A and B are shown apart, each in its own frame.
Chain A
Amino acid sequence: MLTEIVAHDEAALLQRWIDNQFNASGFRPDRIGRAELQENSTQFLSSFRRALNSGATDIQGADWAGVRHILDGLSSARAEQGFSPTETATFIFSLKQPLFERARALYANDPARLAEATWEISQVLDKLGLYTAEVFQRGREAVIVRQQQEMLELSTPVVTLWDGILALPLIGTLDSARTQVVMESLLQRIVDSGAAIAIIDITGVPTVDTLTAQHLLKTVAAARLMGADCIISGIRPQIAQTIVHLGVELGSVVTKATLADAFSVALHRAGLAVVQKQAARRKPPADPDRESEGNEA
């Protein structure tokens, strides 16, 4: 029966469905164009018709593989495009209305068949909608994991603040395999540059637990063996309190609240000082270009 409803003037059905998707609340024309929508819908509808023709009702079965394949592609594409699960499942659910309308037109004089058709339409579209939402969810989890990995990769720049002073501003979670790489790149830069001081800034690290602390402590110890002292900065008050309760002892590691504080300690250790411009005006410095940043003591 469903076969009959779908096959009857497929082009008109397609048009009604696409219009419905466009007018659905929460449709995102900024994220998906009409051409793409048209293509998705055309492909889906012809696959859908073929699956219905097979007579099979189990959407997990072989006859529905083509339909599932299209929904897989669509769901993961929309997860990437930033759609919500509801917005994504609307693709399927917005087909209900045009199918119901057709069933009403075709079986106007046969209430029993109309009821049966309505039931069949709901059944199959609900299953497909649910399937879409599930695939979407899996796709989104993959996106989250990838974004987190990208975050870590983005957050590994070792910057030279001054001759002999490096800074490693860490952003993101610090307990994944990436952390090892981040720390190793810092150690490598220490070797390459012969830096005497490295500032590890953890302002952008949301949670410091025992594993994070262990990574930090190991890095500090390794740096020390290579002749560089580390300063850990960016320890926010709530993190400081938590670390204390956790029982982590940072021992002899120098810690500072902000990167600026740490930098000033580093400059001091390197025998440099930051002086104010007014002071400089009273006693002109040898090199005017560097007056605001700091002078050799």
Chain B
Amino acid sequence: MPVLLSEEHQIRQPEDVVLVRQAVRQKAVELGFNLVDQTKLVTAASELARNTLQYGGGGTLRLESLVDGLRRGLRLTFADEGPGIADIEQAMRDGFSTAGGLGLGLSGARRLSNEFHIDSRPGEGTRISITRWR
């Protein structure tokens, strides 16, 4: 599937989560997503960026604009080289948190996206990619 444009952002400190949200919002506006979809994308990005920082020890976000026939989409890929997730199914469960959080970040991000892929191995890091189409 053709990728029109791609850019990368570092996620190293709490301020970067704010910058990630701003970048995703801007891209979503450029691609013509409506306000509800923009909000969904930005919120999902906020969850995954914070996880990248909080559990992954920092990492990167790659932003890609996609074209599939007449459809336009935005794909966000978060990657870190942190401890990874041993039990993905458990981590994806609503309410599961190892940090006293609401435990809704991962599962919520999946519900807010059209496509969700997670790839994580203990000791190797985590890579999560979400896509939303308009």
Contacts and interface: CB of A to CB of B under 8 A. Distances in A.
Interface of A: 141, 144-145, 148, 173, 175-177, 206-211, 213-214, 237-239, 241-242, 245-248
Contacts of A209: 43, 46-47, 50, 105, 108
B46 to A, nearest CB: 4
B17 A175 contact: yes
State the main secondary structure of chain A at its contact with B.
Answer: helix
A207 B108 contact: no
A247 B47 contact: no
B108 A246 contact: yes
B101 A211 contact: yes
Interface string B1-34: 0000000000000110111010001000000000
Contacts of A175: 14, 17, 46, 50
B95 to A, nearest CB: 8
Interface residues of B, number: 26
A221 to B, nearest CB: 13
B39 A207 contact: yes
Interface string B101-112: 110110110011
B18 A148 contact: yes
Contact of B39 (A144, A173, A239, A247): A239
Contact of A247 (B18, B19, B46, B107): B107
A262 B36 CA distance: 24
A130 B35 CA distance: 38
B115 interface: no
A246 B102 CA distance: 10
Given A209-B43, A242-B112, A214 B102 contact: yes
B42 interface: yes
Given A246-B108, A248-B104, 17 more contacts: A173-B21, A175-B17, A176-B18, A206-B21, A206-B25, A206-B42, A209-B47, A210-B47, A210-B104, A211-B50, A238-B35, A238-B36, A239-B39, A241-B36, A241-B39, A247-B107, A247-B111
Contacts of A148: 15, 18
